[in-house]
A = this chain, B = another copy of it.
Amino acid sequence: MKDYNEVTIYDIAEKLNLATSTISRALKDHHTISKKTIAKVKKTAQEMGYRPNNLAASLRSKKSKAIGVLLPTITQPFLSSLISGIEIAARKAGYSVIIMQSHDKHKDEVDLTKLLYDHRVSGVICSLAMETEDAAHFQLFKESAIPLVFVDRVPKGFNTYRVVIDNYIAGYKATKHLIAQGCKHIAHLTIGSEFGTIYHERKRGYLDALKEHNLEVDDKYVIRVKEITYDEGARAVKKLLSLKNKPDGIFAPGDILGVSAIQTAKKMGVKVPEELAVIGFNDDPISRIIDPNLSTITHPAEKMGQAAAEIILNSLKSKTKDDIREIAFLNTEVIERESSKRN
């Protein structure tokens, strides 16, 4: 250990014959301290090798300069990009990022909210676990006025900040794209409950696009998957392509499902896009590798992360206990690739 030479503001104060409070203020450019003193303090701090002790500051101010991030997992491309965006924005403002994974388990999510609370994080960014059906465990952040931002998988009927895309519009656009390619019988895969809303919203967009164009809305074309995996995707698509009236288009609400639709179709001798047009969701790396390349919907992960972090940072700065809960709607676009190009 080299604790013996850990320099504190007390040491600086002694050396400069000033009070610790003056040092503390000078170091943070407090306006009541003269420029001369500030310069002098900073210079000697530098010379003495002073390093602030965030722990002490946090204890005193009851706020650690940290943002807690609670996600189902961090290995999905969308989520790791999200974290990246958060980390960049947080770092710039001098905040650190603590990450926790719920692994889509409700119980873990509940436990981790408590842990984050214990850590006295300044703010929390969360995307809900697939299992979660209520948001009661987030109440403690509200009660403690700790800014809370939900991203992507957001709870229904819980009043907080949220950063999302308009999943309804995105689903609508995706379906409309298939319609524009001449598809008449469009299938859809879906997952999740109404609580996490995003897949439900995408489905709403899908249904409304069909209705708007007077296209058949048929329950047998909407298949529910248990989880977003290649196996589940294959299972669902096999079922669809075994129908006597095969669909001629599929809107998959995730690229893993979209890719497995292409793979399954190829395996079954169904030509993509000629006989089956496919569009996915997210613009994951795999969508550009599959042959034919998968058309998809952009999901601006890094931007959403930055937006979420900035909302927290602003909320912390303005201190106004605003009851206006900001909703950031980020834009999405259709990316047209070979898997849906029929014209």
Q: Is A107 an interface residue (CB 8 A)?
A: no
Question: Is A56 touching B59 in the complex (CB atoms < 8 A)?
Answer: yes
Question: Is B74 touching A101 in the complex (CB atoms < 8 A)?
Answer: no
Query: Which residues on the B side are within 8 Å of A290 (C-beta)?
Result: 289, 291
Question: Is B2 touching A52 in the complex (CB atoms < 8 A)?
Answer: no
Interchain CB contact (< 8 A) of A53 among B2, B83, B118, B291:
B118
Q: Size band of the A side of the interface?
A: 35 or more
Query: Which residues on the B side are within 8 Å of A144 (C-beta)?
Result: 1-3
Which of A96, A98, A291 lies at the interface centre, i.e. has the most chain B CB atoms within 10 A of its CB? A96
Query: Which residues on the B side are within 8 Å of A114 (C-beta)?
Result: 51
Q: Is A91 an interface residue (CB 8 A)?
A: yes
CB distance from A109 to the nearest CB of B (A): 13
Query: Which residues on the B side are within 8 Å of A145 (C-beta)?
Result: 1
How far is it, in angstroms, between the C-alpha of A62 and the C-alpha of B2 when the chains are bound? 12
Question: Is B64 touching A74 in the complex (CB atoms < 8 A)?
Answer: no
Name the residue of chain B whose CB is nearest to the CB of A2: B143
Question: Given A87-B101, A98-B96, is A62 in contact with B286 using a C-beta cutoff of 8 Å?
Answer: no
Question: Given A80-B74, A98-B98, is A52 in contact with B87 using a C-beta cutoff of 8 Å?
Answer: no
Question: Is B59 touching A118 in the complex (CB atoms < 8 A)?
Answer: no
The 0/1 profile, CB within 8 Å of B marked 1, for residues 86-115 of chain A is 011001000011111100000000000011
Question: Is B53 touching A55 in the complex (CB atoms < 8 A)?
Answer: no
Q: Is A285 an interface residue (CB 8 A)?
A: yes
Query: Which residues on the B side are within 8 Å of A289 (C-beta)?
Result: 259, 286, 289-290
Name the residue of chain B whose CB is nearest to the CB of A66: B98
How far is it, in angstroms, between the C-alpha of A259 and the C-alpha of B293 when the chains are bound? 14
Question: Is A75 touching B84 in the complex (CB atoms < 8 A)?
Answer: yes
Q: Is A238 an interface residue (CB 8 A)?
A: no
Name the residue of chain B whose CB is nearest to the CB of A115: B96
Q: Is A138 an interface residue (CB 8 A)?
A: no
Query: Which residues on the B side are within 8 Å of A115 (C-beta)?
Result: 96
How far is it, in angstroms, between the C-alpha of A81 and the C-alpha of B73 when the chains are bound? 10
Question: Given A97-B99, A99-B99, A101-B87, is A55 in contact with B51 using a C-beta cutoff of 8 Å?
Answer: no
How far is it, in angstroms, between the C-alpha of A80 and the C-alpha of B74 when the chains are bound? 6
Question: Is A99 touching B119 in the complex (CB atoms < 8 A)?
Answer: no
Query: Which residues on the B side are within 8 Å of A117 (C-beta)?
Result: 51
Query: Which residues on the B side are within 8 Å of A303 (C-beta)?
Result: none
Question: Is B75 touching A118 in the complex (CB atoms < 8 A)?
Answer: no
9 example contacts (A-B, Cβ-Cβ < 8 A) are as follows A2-B144, A73-B84, A74-B80, A75-B77, A75-B84, A80-B80, A83-B99, A87-B100, A291-B291
The 8 closest A-B pairs by CB, nearest first: A80-B80, A55-B59, A289-B289, A286-B289, A291-B291, A75-B80, A55-B58, A2-B143
